Amino acid sequence: MKKLVIVGCGRLAGIVADAVVKGLLPDYDLVGVYSRTASKAAHIVHKMQQHGKPCIACATLEELLALKPDYLVESASPAAMRELALPALRNGTSVITLSIGALADETFYQEVAETAKANGTRIYIASGATGGFDVLRTASLMGNTTARFFNEKGPNGLKGTPVYDDSLQTEQRTVFSGSAAEAIRLFPTKVNVTVAASRASVGPENMQVSIQSTPGFVGDTQKVEIKNDQVHAVVDIYSATSDIAGWSVVSTLINIASPIVF
């Protein structure tokens, strides 16, 4: 059995824990969880215990890593990913991350890659609310490639960000246009998808991103378009909630343990 832990016990972590309970991840034991607010970690532990699965709530990241997990699911934030990636990799723990925005920083990205290699560990970039990383990478390898990313949200999905004002409730507007690197700086927890798609293709500085706010729109559309001399591919995903991102972690974990890999 592989030892699994989770950092960041919110909505998406709950989907992973439920998958363990439902028997969708038979190759893993969820041995520990850690979250900024202790009660969130305790909630997952309680659920696991109700199903006869031992799991502990750790008070610190160090305590969690001392469990010597094989895999750590990061479902917290890009800031958390920045803090935990190197210690986890040095601990012999591979990381499945949803907060790919942390990997927009080139220096950090290289350091993570070198540390993973030196320790026989890996970072797995979950497809999250987008996907098609196989075709994005393949088309990029062919050369002369451009890529762009379009995200549509409702105004409520932008509340608390620097671009939000009440006029967005009645007016459709492009609220951001720039690179994926700039996008994740402005919306640190909302556009991990753009950095993920960029890392599979042209990189965060070269992925052109636009974000449109549409009154009354519920959920997110994430559309990646890649072009080279021969290929034109569009990955266009609408999702009513972000649950697809939690399920993409379940899918990644199944892949890691599977004799047949997608």
Ligand X SMILES: NC(=O)C1=CN([C@@H]2O[C@H](COP(=O)(O)OP(=O)(O)OC[C@H]3O[C@@H](n4cnc5c(N)ncnc54)[C@H](OP(=O)(O)O)[C@@H]3O)[C@@H](O)[C@H]2O)C=CC1
Ligand Y SMILES: O=C([O-])CC(=O)C(=O)O
**List 6, 65, 100, 136, residue binding ligand X (CB under 6 A):** 100
Q: Is position 88 an interface residue for ligand X (rule: CB under 6 A)?
A: no
Per-residue contact flags (x/-) with ligand X for residues 199 to 238, judged by CB under 6 A: ----------------------------------------
Binding segment toward ligand X, per CB under 6 A, in 10-18, 103-111, 145-153, 201-209: 10-18
Calpha distance 69→187 (Å, rounded): 31
CA distances to 104, 107, 229 from 182, rounded to whole Å, are 9, 16, 27
Was 129 annotated as part of a binding site?
yes
Nearest CA-CA partner of 248 in 67, 97, 55, 39? 97
Binding segment toward ligand Y, per CB under 6 A, in 131-139, 162-170, 189-197, 228-236: 189-197
Q: In angstroms, what is the minimal distance from the CB of 103 to ligand Y?
A: 12
**C-alpha Rg value of the chain to the nearest Å:** 19
**List 220, 246, 249, 256, residue binding ligand Y (CB under 6 A):** 220
List 123's β-bridge partners, or say none.
95
**List 192, 201, 208, 213, residue binding ligand X (CB under 6 A):** 192
Q: Is position 245 an interface residue for ligand X (rule: CB under 6 A)?
A: yes
Q: Burial, 237: exposed, middle or buried (Cβ in 10 Å; 0-12, 13-18, 19+)?
A: middle
Q: Is position 10 an interface residue for ligand X (rule: CB under 6 A)?
A: yes
* Residues near ligand X (CB under 6 A), total: 28
- Residues 41/57, Cβ–Cβ less than 8 Å: yes
- Residues 204/195, Cβ–Cβ less than 8 Å: yes
Render 88-109 in DSSP notation, one character per residue.
HHHTT-EEEES-GGGGGSHHHH
Q: In angstroms, what is the minimal distance from the CB of 61 to ligand Y?
A: 21
- Residues 81/102, Cβ–Cβ less than 8 Å: yes
Q: Burial, 146: exposed, middle or buried (Cβ in 10 Å; 0-12, 13-18, 19+)?
A: middle
Binding segment toward ligand X, per CB under 6 A, in 11-19, 21-29, 42-50, 223-231: 11-19
Q: Is position 193 an interface residue for ligand X (rule: CB under 6 A)?
A: yes
Q: Which residues bind ligand X (CB under 6 A)?
A: 7-13, 35-37, 40, 75-80, 98-100, 128-129, 189, 192-193, 196, 242, 245
Q: Which residues bind ligand Y (CB under 6 A)?
A: 128-129, 189-193, 220, 242, 245
